[in-house]
Amino acid sequence: MPAPTAVRGDITAQRVDAVVNAANRAMRGGGGVDGAIHRMGGPAILDDCIARFPQGLATGDAGWTTAGALPARWVIHVVGPNHAAGERDRALLVSCYRRALEVADRLGARSIAFPLISAGIYGWPKPDAVDAAVATIAAADTAVTDARIVAFDEATFDLVAERIARL
Ligand code: ADP
């Protein structure tokens, strides 16, 4: 696909077909991006998580729900590896981006906004989290034409933009 773009802002405000949630295995809400998505999207997202994912989701996997009141049509939930808790298998982080794009293709989504998966509460080292995001999205075989990596702060935005410039 074309190179991803770097965006600075709040992922819940993105006007895209699908926003990606950095969820946890239980899929019942949490902090960071997960908290913001459930707060802004409203209870329909949690209801759909419970109905569609009674057992939650495995680390490295992706699954979709409604986006509730968000401007997007779908939320694609992924579970990144929890580096802070000792999950250090990089293939699981790469898998989150690949699987999210596969789910997007199945839905017919053409635009998607990713957070920097695992780089917050889960503690994945920021430069490597950026590298995994940019390289995996850029190499994916997908019908998605607009993939954004949304950074909350200026320093992270700069890291993402610099990595994209090196593609
Ligand atoms: P994880 O638990 O997978 O580490 P987090 O949600 O804690 O996920 O953080 C992932 C990244 O998203 C971090 O870089 C964090 O600063 C950023 N982030 C947190 N809230 C938002 C938001 N509302 N929009 C965009 N990025 C966010």
Phi-psi region of 59 (alpha: psi -120 to 50; beta: other; left: phi over 0): beta
Cβ-in-10-Å burial (0-12, 13-18, 19+) of 113 comes to buried
Dihedral over alpha carbons 66, 35, 128, 91 (to 10 degrees): -50
pLDDT for res 81: 98
Q: How far is the CA of 116 from the centre of ligand 1 (A)?
A: 6
**pLDDT cut 70: percent of the chain above it:** 99
- Specify whether the CB–CB gap between 70 and 40 falls below 8 A: yes
Ligand 1 pocket, 117 CB below 6 A? yes
Q: Please determine, for residue 151, whether its predicted confidence score (pLDDT) is greater than 90.
A: yes
Q: How far is the CA of 157 from the centre of ligand 1 (A)?
A: 12
CATH dotted code for 5-165: 3.40.220.10
One-character DSSP codes across 69-116: TSSSSEEEEEE---GGGT---HHHHHHHHHHHHHHHHHHT--EEEE--
- pTM higher than 0.85 for the full model? yes
Tokens linked to 60: 């490295």
Ligand 1 pocket, 10 CB below 6 A? yes
Q: Please determine, for residue 139, whether its predicted confidence score (pLDDT) is greater than 90.
A: yes
pLDDT in tens, 53-92: 999 999 999 999 999 999 999 999 999 999 999 999 999 9
For the chain, what are the domain ranges?
5-165
Amino acid letter at 150? V
pLDDT in tens, 92-111: 999 999 999 999 999 999 99
Task: Please compute the mean of the pLDDT values over residues 7-25 and round it to a whole number.
Answer: 98
Catalytic residues: 34
For residues 64 and 45, give the distance between their C-alpha atoms in angstroms, rounded to a whole number.
10
Task: Please compute the mean of the pLDDT values over residues 16-31 and round it to a whole number.
Answer: 98
Q: Please determine, for residue 1, whether its predicted confidence score (pLDDT) is greater than 90.
A: no
